[in-house]
Amino acid sequence: MEDINERARTKLGTGRVADYIPALAEQDANKFGIAICTNEGEVYAAGDAQEPFSIQSISKVFLLTLSLRVYGNELWERVGLNPSGMPFNSLTQLEAERGKPRNPFINAGAIVVADRLVSAFATPSKHLRDVARKLSGNESILIDARVQESEWQHRSRNAAMAYLMKSFGNIDNDVDQVLHSYFSCCSLAMSCVDLAVALNYLAADGHAQAMGEPFIAPDLARKINSIMFTCGMYDAAGDFAYRVGLPAKSGVGGGIVAIVPGKLSVCAWSPALDENGNSVAAQYALELLAEEMVRQQL
Ligand code: DON
């Protein structure tokens, strides 16, 4: 971890911090952290791995997991399973495809998934926050109110998607309520250590490390990993698959979670992003980790 921390920091200064809301634009581009959680429950970390950051689209993995637990395969009537080949906030396919988003990891797809959770839970954001706390074993995890408020102020594009999908009958609930839930999930603040531990269930056949019990069925963990592999890095999923070869999910806060099924979960974070919205240093760190695992035959 220390070696990767040192080498990944050579990438600091490349890329741009997300600037669509002030709360993210103010992030320090010189931060870098990485944490691993093994399926045996050992945690290894380096750099700024304990510092909470805005998890943004990494929350789409939690949203999807919770929704699949409630709705199972019925969910796929509402959202597809294929890469979009478009930026994560694109609207262009939605009209032609009658309001059914390509996959649950683009914004439109996550908004549909959030609508399903609004139907299933009285307080979906609180439920998701509590699940994040339980899965990570960190009771102090919070939704960052400032990020959440900024997301709301800058909601036009996500609101446009939600209304278009509602016009096709693919959103059941009040659009504002769905957007509030979606934004509060994006605004969860978690550290690399929190995320590596929380998402270890995807590496461990559905068994939640911090809870010490099964969270989802092994088959569901395999399926979520598959969607992460094909759709988790937006338009760059193919590039990332070639470079790293692991299921992963990124967020515009600069975090990326990757899964080594049967072995470990890892989260790397650094705020500066490339043109696809993926952290430059975090991608490089995961590439170094993947190479090292091959070299050491792990
Ligand atoms: O909804 C949005 O546009 C933001 N909260 C971005 C979420 C995100 O991380 C997308 N991509 N990486």
Q: Give the burial string for 256-278 (b: 16+ CB within 10 Å, else e).
A: bbbbbbeebbbbbbbbbbeebbb
Q: Which residues contact 104 (CB under 8 A, 6 or more apart)?
A: 60, 63, 64, 67, 75, 79, 110, 112, 113, 227, 231
The DSSP call for residue 58 is G
Domains contained in the chain, CATH given:
2-295 (3.40.710.10)
Q: Ligand 1 centre and the CA of 251: distance in Å?
A: 6
Q: Whose CA is nearest to atom 4 of ligand 1?
A: 56
Query: How far is Cα 265 from Cα 244, in angstroms, rounded to an integer?
Result: 14
Q: What pLDDT does 298 receive?
A: 81
Q: Ligand 1 centre and the CA of 75: distance in Å?
A: 21
Q: What pLDDT does 85 receive?
A: 86
Mutation to probe ligand 1, out of 89, 149, 158, 276 (largest number of atoms < 8 A from CB)? 89
- Give the active site residue among 79, 175, 252, 266: 252
* Beta pairing partners, 43: 37
Q: Which two tokens stand for residue 73?
A: 């395969």
Q: Counting atoms of ligand 1 from 1, which one is nearest the CA of 183?
A: 5
Q: Counting atoms of ligand 1 from 1, which one is nearest the CA of 151?
A: 5
Question: Annotated binding residue at 284?
Answer: no
Query: How far is Cα 298 from Cα 286, in angstroms, rounded to an integer?
Result: 15
Question: Annotated binding residue at 125?
Answer: no
Q: Is the dihedral of CA 165, 169, 172, 177 positive or negative?
A: positive
pLDDT in tens, the chain (298 residues): 999 999 999 999 999 999 999 999 999 999 999 999 999 999 999 999 999 999 999 999 999 999 999 999 999 999 999 999 888 888 999 999 999 999 999 999 999 999 999 999 999 999 999 999 999 999 999 999 999 999 999 999 999 999 999 999 999 999 999 999 999 999 999 999 999 999 999 999 999 999 999 999 999 999 999 999 999 998 899 999 999 999 999 999 999 999 999 999 999 999 999 999 999 999 999 999 999 999 998 8
The pTM assigned to this predicted structure is 0.97
Q: What pLDDT does 297 receive?
A: 83
Q: What pLDDT does 249 receive?
A: 98
